[in-house]
């Protein structure tokens, strides 16, 4: 099983540096996102990485056109021809995330999130010996612990109630750190609408609004 290494520390450092730099360029409002509205969504994602298959569900809310709170649940699975040929068979993750919306484009944006996750990993036992036929292992390992999730997401919302996203996610933990690249679909009040006409482009409907505690 892999442990936390200097590589993981460097990954975390550059992730936080990127978030800090991008947050400095925040603007108050944009055509499709307003500070006095909140936007919410729920969806699913599918991909792979350290595990052959990564499948998950997520839900989130954006407020003040800047801050994001989200919940994410993932299931990870390896399906080998010879299960002893891999280190981990199965993993699951429940994450509580907080992050920032890093850009202010009308229909596509970047966001970065981190937080706390509760993980479960079922993996191959340690090598305890070998013979002419190969190595043999001890009992399978069942690990339950806490991890640090990192998510960088690009979201495209062609319609105010629908969005697609591409995510690069990692989980740093003491037992087996892993990563995944996923594609997801989300539904909800993902942004405000816009109207095109003689007077130009204008805002057409808020998010979850107006919410008094988000007003400035």
pLDDT in tens, 96-105: 999 998 887 7
Give the model's pLDDT for residue 210: 40
Please state the pTM of the whole predicted model: 0.72
Eight-state DSSP code of residue 66: T
Give the model's pLDDT for residue 193: 65
Give the model's pLDDT for residue 165: 95
* Spans in the chain with pLDDT lower than 50: 1-2, 7, 25-29, 195-216
The residues spanned by each domain of the chain are 6-214
Q: Kindly tell me the sign of the dihedral angle through the C-alpha atoms of 23, 24, 28, 31.
A: negative
Q: Which CATH class is domain 6-214?
A: mainly beta
How many Å apart are CA 193 and CA 184, to the nearest integer? 21
Give the model's pLDDT for residue 209: 44
């Amino acid at each position: 099983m892999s442990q936390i290494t200097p590589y993981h520390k460097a990954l975390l450092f550059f992730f936080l540096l990127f978030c800090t730099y991008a947050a400095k360029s925040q603007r108050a409002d944009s055509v499709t996102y307003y500070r006095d509205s909140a936007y919410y969504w729920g969806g699913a994602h599918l991909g792979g990485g350290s595990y052959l298959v990564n499948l998950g569900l997520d839900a989130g809310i954006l407020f003040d056109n800047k801050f994001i709170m989200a919940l994410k649940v993932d299931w990870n699975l390896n399906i080998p021809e010879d299960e002893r040929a891999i280190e981990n068979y199965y993993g699951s993750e429940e994450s509580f995330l907080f992050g920032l919306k890093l850009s202010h484009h009308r229909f596509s944006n970047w966001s970065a999130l981190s937080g706390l996750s509760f993980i479960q990993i079922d993996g191959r036992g340690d090598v305890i010996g070998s013979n002419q036929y190969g190595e043999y292992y001890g009992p399978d390992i069942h690990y339950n612990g806490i991890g640090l999730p990192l998510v960088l997401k690009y979201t495209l919302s062609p319609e105010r109630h629908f969005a697609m996203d591409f995510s690069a996610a990692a989980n740093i933990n003491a037992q087996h750190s892993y990563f995944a690249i996923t594609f997801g679909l989300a539904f909800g009040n993902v942004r405000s609408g816009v109207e095109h006409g003689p007077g130009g482009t204008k805002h057409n409907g808020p998010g979850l609004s107006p919410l008094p505690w988000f007003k400035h």
